[in-house]
Structure 1
Amino acid sequence: MKSNYFNLKNNLIIALLFSAVSILAQKSETPDAVYDLGAKINEMTLTIGGVLVVATNDGLTGIRPTQKEPVFVFNTFGQLKPEETEFIPGSPYIVVSQGANSKFAGIAKTKRAVIDYIKGEVIFNSENDNWNQIYTCNIVLPQNKLIVSGIQKEGDKFEKMTPKVAVYDLNSSKLDYSFFLDKPGRVGIAKDFSVTGTPLFLKNFIIIPTAQGLIAKSHKGDDLWECKIKGVNWMVADESEQEIYGFETTTNGKNTRIHKVGNNGAELWKDDRKVQGNVSNFQILPQGLAVVSDKNDGGSNSILATKNESEIAFLSAATGEDLWEKAPKTKGYVQHFYVQDDGILFGIQQGGINKISFDGTTLFKKPLKTGENIMIMAQTPQGLIYITSEDANIVDLKTGDQVWKKPLKYKNSAAVASTFDSAKNRYLIAANGTIYAIDASSTDISELANVKFDEKEVANTMEMRNGNIFLSSSQNLALLDANGKQIFQEYFKSPGQSGFIKVLSGVVAVASTALAVSTAARAGMNRTNPYGSANDLDNYNDYGKEAKRASDMFASIGSASFAIMSKRFKASAATENSQFILTKLDDGVGLVKVDKNSGKVTKEIILNDKKPEYQIDEFEGFLYYKANNSTINAYNLK
């Protein structure tokens, strides 16, 4: 490796001694904390709350380098498979599952536990509450509730055999109320009351979807109503909570049926509405219901097979009928979907952007052709900027007319980096080693510079730093002045293309890390958009907005753990002026901390491992390194 510190050749003795002191100051081989977990480490997960959760042969352990002892140790269920541990997005909770799911009592015991990894507490354990079987275990946010269904070994012999639902408060870890889904000891033909989907928790009541229909209970567990709509998987309520939409995936998984009921259980549509594919986006609007569903051919080669593409429909909230005479053609999967004042804007993964009004009129003069993989669609003062792996442009959001005189085109690039230079009033885009500058006023495009990275890497990050342009990839970084002249360019050789596990940063992609959700949740499952719609078009380069959104969301829930998460997202990253690179050093494989403003290495940590496994928390500024099969070393990177 090329040294960025010093050159000892021909130096005086005093300089040699000074340099030796500098080496000791720069290298950090003594960890700040060591955690011997006493069992083989299988996996490490850095949570958005800043706790490293380690899966071992004994169970789970949570560590935070500011504490000498683990935050928690959960060995009650023994070793867990990866699929038995679920990190609930946007929360401090882990749901641990063990045992096969069964809707029939007595066949197989199932166990569930919920861990608050920030508090370090097990706030629910089915074993402690005498649950013999758990059918479903759902955390509901922002209400901060846990809803469990299954068979509980309490009461008389009939109660011990009757499906039951219990609602727990996660803040206090106490039971709010519970109720049976069927009358214990009921005489007659056995009925299947298995819970078929995620319950909907509303202000005044809760709805449980079952194989017998929807069952509504008060927050004390009192009976309210039942509806015969069966097999619902997930539900959404409008803002007033007067109207509820239920989504049922058909048995073959190729279609979704949408049902509508009132808050009294009455069916509000004469017939359900069937859409092809699985619903991936759903939003209730004053003008109607926006629905995106994704179709899949299932691998069939038949000419009659379903096309792999999305469908966009706009339904009447009153009747469920399609309000558009002709749905817009997608010819691919909807990658971006945004609701605006005058209509719906969408971008297709295979290329193409269009906009349609709520009455079904196409707003763009013609569909906009773009390259594949639309990485960015965002609002700018000049219009909608889009950046794909092949081209970029800004278009008028009303008409679809291009704002730039011509689109910027480049050869398909593995990564594209971009930023806005406010001092020069220009957009900067880096693709395939070329940096393009687009004047925001004149829209003139010029090639500002060419930057060739080693190991055939291309820049995947670009930012403005004090008027200079910073570029980086996994093993390379460079700083250019405003005119494109190189200030520095540094390369750190990788230990081998497959010889290491790359860092999973705790700060990258704030929005997706903090708010990542399942397909159904993205579609709108069990939420009335209390924090603003996920279908709002973001402003270009406004990463702070996403971090604030996450912080505000956590703060609104009102528990100590969520308050800690809110504070974490409100703060700037402790390492925002540095980049961490795993490289081959003179003394072995290690991690270097490189200053983004100078390109100088400010810290080296030798990991003594050709294939190191590690995680970096860039918010707090810590490195977690798997030192051996049972030990985690933590280093302070500040």
Structure 2
Amino acid sequence: MKKITRTFLLAVMCTYAVAVFAQPKTAPAWSAKFKSPINWQRVHSLGYLIVSTNDGLYGVNPGDGKILWENKNYPALSADRFQEVDGTEFVSISFLTDKSSTIPMQAIIEVVGGKVLFDSQKEQIGVLSRHVLPSSGRLLVIGVRPNTLSASLFMYEIASGKQLWANDDLFKADQAGGKGLLGKLQAMGQQLSNLQSLTSEPVELQDQSMIITHPNYVIRLNSGDGKVLWKNSIQPSKRGQVYFSPFKKNVVYIGTEVESETGSGFTTTSSSNNKEPQKFYTNLYYAFDLASGNALWKEPAKENDKLNQVIMHEKGIIICPRSSQKPTINLVDYETGKTMWGNKGKGVKAQGSVVSYITTEKGILITTAFDNAWNNKAEEYYLNLLDPNTGTLKFEKSVKLKGDLVRSEMVPKGLLFITTREVNILDTNTGSLLWGNSIEAGTSLTGEKVRPFPTGSKGDKLYVFSSKEDGLFEIDKTTGIFRKMTSTKVEFGGKELPKAIDVVADGVLLYSDQNVLKFGFDGLLKYSKYYPAPRQPALVRALLMAEAVRAAYIGAAASAYSAAFAQASAQTNDAAGKAMGQELSKGFGQLGQAGFAYSSRALKEFNARYKASQNTPNFVMMMTTQEKKGNQLIQVNKTNGEVASAVDIKNDKEPEYDVDQIFNYIYYRPTAAEIVCYKL
């Protein structure tokens, strides 16, 4: 097979490569055969398998392999034209009607039954953008009708696919302007500028209305019938964001990012090859009365550089622009829109762009990035404490971190932070580090700053492996004291370094691509296993991809679903669906806005998968090779490091397989038109 597919992997397990001796084989659970070659396969977040062949698109039941639906309108669909609609039970397909097309068509399909809820080709609408409205269960499409120069809005009911309304006039050119040819040219120019998608996701309000931001407008619409409640022109912008403050009721704040070829602040670098001019950025902030749309400030608040973090505080709006240099943090007054901090309201210079913050009793602890996260250098992160009462930074000198910040949390002794290179605790009273010497990953060669060195936690204990010390450390989060658990050098076969830690009932496991090792909590070695890797890198590529996707999901899924579940549970009339939505909302973190439109049935299915993901499996998956038997995908028991079962990949040098790590299914393609499922 010629390529390896990407998967949506959701379970709490890691993947590595191994070599095996005799072990039990896993029998196939089912096999699905297709009439033409399979081009790619995907695992939807609800677990359904989507398969593309030369004949069409198919939905497969993961339980028994039966084909749930087929759609032959999309044969040989390119994988980059397929996308899951985040937080929903739907997928979207985009396509061009011909080579000269510039605006794509788009279809939205429900994954369980294959129902086409929206087909822009049938509707004759080119899609600029589409937006799921969670509270109302609707789909907003910004599209273009044939032979027109302005965008239209179309609202659909997700459950039925029925169009509820269309608004063709909202983004048409205003009538005001010059007359004659000049007036027509001005109107055409404005229409062309209106032929754009929204600059932020729509924000639904409780009264069945919504706020949308277009490059040229801020609009409040009735989402039920499409009528405009109010519409305000703004300075043309590239990005937008809608904000509400708990300290100011019935006011909506809009942040925008404006691009120009003159100015100061954040600038792109012009290219000598394409001779593009330099571009400068400013971020503007507007305040509107929510009911009337009246502007509350004489002019928008302005700060140099790009739109970034905004903190709603009782003192005002703390704006933290993004820049490759050292941007200015400022406070915008709720009443006047004036900037308040620094000399003449010019703000406070920070040691880089604010990438995260934690509100504490002592102030707002900010993490800033300087000339790194935005240009892939990723070398300089700083910590400081912002006093919102005085508009000053508490520490005269920001604390510089080694490596890129991975995560942080407040503990009794201060801020415990983990970077790609070190672990330490910041004393928020003094601005100094609690430990004179951090626990370090090692040199830039061994530390590999593109990924964090391994940590694992259980209760109030954090476990860290340091390649610099070749040892495992235990940190007590309560006391702020750490100890080195291991007395002997930790060595992995194949000159590998541990890259993940799993804390289990009887000890701490360390993993690499080809090694698995366990220490007891007393620091004594329980076992160490090394399994040489297959010679073909393609054999392990999908597993490594699975690991990366899983890590991204664990880091983002909580925030991506919490408010969505709360919204879904509030809207559904199904008692079981409402209860599960509320339960799942508690299980995840918090989120401001999320695309989410699950039916009651889908909530039940997601509930089952969510609960399954919380159960850490007692095995890891690895790829290995045996000279006579070929390649195998295996389960390695965490208890003793031995192989529990295996799936033959044989001598397929570049296998097609996907893994659903919630229910532990392996989908392997042994031939061009067949998928075999193994249940571990």
Q: TM class, shorter-chain normalised?
A: 0.7 to 0.9
Give CA-to-partner distance per residue, 1:64-89, whole Å, 9 cap, x none. Answer: 42143234444424444444333333
Match of 2:204 among 198, 201, 206: 201
The question of 1:245 aligning with 2:248 is answered no
Q: Which amino acid aligns with 1:580?
A: M
Correspondence for 1:435:
472
Q: Which amino acid aligns with 2:484?
A: S
The answer on whether the counterparts of 2:48 and 2:59 sit within 8 Å (CA) in structure 1 is yes
User: Hey, what's the Cα distance between the residues in 2 that align with 1:101 and 1:2?
Assistant: 50
User: Hey, what's the Cα distance between the residues in 2 that align with 1:288 and 1:572?
Assistant: 40
Q: Which moved more, 1:439-448 or 1:480-489?
A: 439-448
The answer on whether the counterparts of 1:33 and 1:65 sit within 8 Å (CA) in structure 2 is no
- After superposition, residues 257-272 of structure 1 pair within 5 angstroms as 257-260=283-286, 261-263=288-290, 264-272=292-300
The answer on whether the counterparts of 1:436 and 1:448 sit within 8 Å (CA) in structure 2 is yes
Secondary structure of 1:250's match? strand
User: Hey, what's the Cα distance between the residues in 1 that align with 2:206 and 2:230?
Assistant: 16
Match of 2:60 among 23, 46, 63: 63
Q: Which amino acid aligns with 2:606?
A: M
User: Hey, what's the Cα distance between the residues in 2 that align with 1:108 and 1:200?
Assistant: 28
The question of 1:446 aligning with 2:440 is answered no
Correspondence for 1:285:
313
Correspondence for 1:343:
363
CA spacing shift, 1:456–1:379, aligned 2, 3 Å: farther
Secondary structure of 2:609's match? helix
Secondary structure of 1:568's match? helix
User: Hey, what's the Cα distance between the residues in 1 that align with 2:302 and 2:282?
Assistant: 6
User: Hey, what's the Cα distance between the residues in 2 that align with 1:417 and 1:545?
Assistant: 29
Correspondence for 2:502:
463
Q: Cα RMSD (Å) of the superposition?
A: 3.9
What residue ranges of structure 1 are gaps of 5+ in the alignment?
6-22, 297-306, 532-543
Match of 2:657 among 592, 614, 629: 614
User: Hey, what's the Cα distance between the residues in 2 that align with 1:490 and 1:272?
Assistant: 63
The answer on whether the counterparts of 1:281 and 1:291 sit within 8 Å (CA) in structure 2 is yes
Correspondence for 2:439:
408
Correspondence for 1:15:
none
CA spacing shift, 1:596–1:56, aligned 2, 3 Å: same
User: Hey, what's the Cα distance between the residues in 1 that align with 2:91 and 2:260?
Assistant: 30
The answer on whether the counterparts of 1:143 and 1:557 sit within 8 Å (CA) in structure 2 is no
User: Hey, what's the Cα distance between the residues in 2 that align with 1:582 and 1:597?
Assistant: 19
Q: Which amino acid aligns with 2:229?
A: L
* Structure with higher RCO (Cα < 8 A, 6+ apart): 2
What residue ranges of structure 2 are gaps of 5+ in the alignment?
1-17, 176-182, 262-278, 370-377, 569-582
CA spacing shift, 1:403–1:72, aligned 2, 3 Å: farther
Aligned-residue identity in percent: 21
> Once the 2 structures are TM-superposed, how far is the Cα of residue 374 of structure 1 from its aligned partner?
1.6
CA spacing shift, 1:606–1:574, aligned 2, 3 Å: farther
> Once the 2 structures are TM-superposed, how far is the Cα of residue 262 of structure 1 from its aligned partner?
2.6
Q: Which amino acid aligns with 2:382?
A: G
> Once the 2 structures are TM-superposed, how far is the Cα of residue 593 of structure 1 from its aligned partner?
0.2
Correspondence for 1:148:
141
The answer on whether the counterparts of 1:555 and 1:562 sit within 8 Å (CA) in structure 2 is no
The answer on whether the counterparts of 2:381 and 2:400 sit within 8 Å (CA) in structure 1 is yes
User: Hey, what's the Cα distance between the residues in 2 that align with 1:165 and 1:186?
Assistant: 17
User: Hey, what's the Cα distance between the residues in 2 that align with 1:389 and 1:115?
Assistant: 40
TM-score, normalization by structure 1: 0.78
User: Hey, what's the Cα distance between the residues in 2 that align with 1:475 and 1:328?
Assistant: 50
Correspondence for 1:122:
116
User: Hey, what's the Cα distance between the residues in 1 that align with 2:168 and 2:554?
Assistant: 39
User: Hey, what's the Cα distance between the residues in 2 that align with 1:173 and 1:561?
Assistant: 17
> Once the 2 structures are TM-superposed, how far is the Cα of residue 475 of structure 1 from its aligned partner?
1.9
CA spacing shift, 1:273–1:80, aligned 2, 3 Å: farther
Give CA-to-partner distance per residue, 1:543-584, whole Å, 9 cap, x none. Answer: x99992169989996643244223321334566211001111
User: Hey, what's the Cα distance between the residues in 2 that align with 1:488 and 1:97?
Assistant: 51
The answer on whether the counterparts of 1:580 and 1:594 sit within 8 Å (CA) in structure 2 is yes
Match of 2:625 among 584, 591, 598: 584
User: Hey, what's the Cα distance between the residues in 2 that align with 1:512 and 1:363?
Assistant: 30
Q: Which amino acid aligns with 1:173?
A: G
CA spacing shift, 1:109–1:497, aligned 2, 3 Å: closer
User: Hey, what's the Cα distance between the residues in 2 that align with 1:369 and 1:502?
Assistant: 36
- After superposition, residues 107-186 of structure 1 pair within 5 angstroms as 110-118=104-112, 120-128=114-122, 130-141=123-134, 143-152=136-145, 163-182=151-170
User: Hey, what's the Cα distance between the residues in 1 that align with 2:49 and 2:161?
Assistant: 23
> Once the 2 structures are TM-superposed, how far is the Cα of residue 147 of structure 1 from its aligned partner?
0.7
CA spacing shift, 1:461–1:77, aligned 2, 3 Å: same
Correspondence for 2:240:
234
Secondary structure of 2:517's match? strand
Match of 1:393 among 424, 447, 455: 424
TM-score, normalization by structure 2: 0.74
Match of 1:362 among 393, 399, 403: 393
> Once the 2 structures are TM-superposed, how far is the Cα of residue 180 of structure 1 from its aligned partner?
2.4
The question of 1:321 aligning with 2:338 is answered yes
User: Hey, what's the Cα distance between the residues in 2 that align with 1:81 and 1:175?
Assistant: 28
Secondary structure of 1:606's match? strand
Match of 1:353 among 358, 383, 402: 383
Secondary structure of 1:238's match? strand
Match of 2:538 among 499, 518, 522: 499
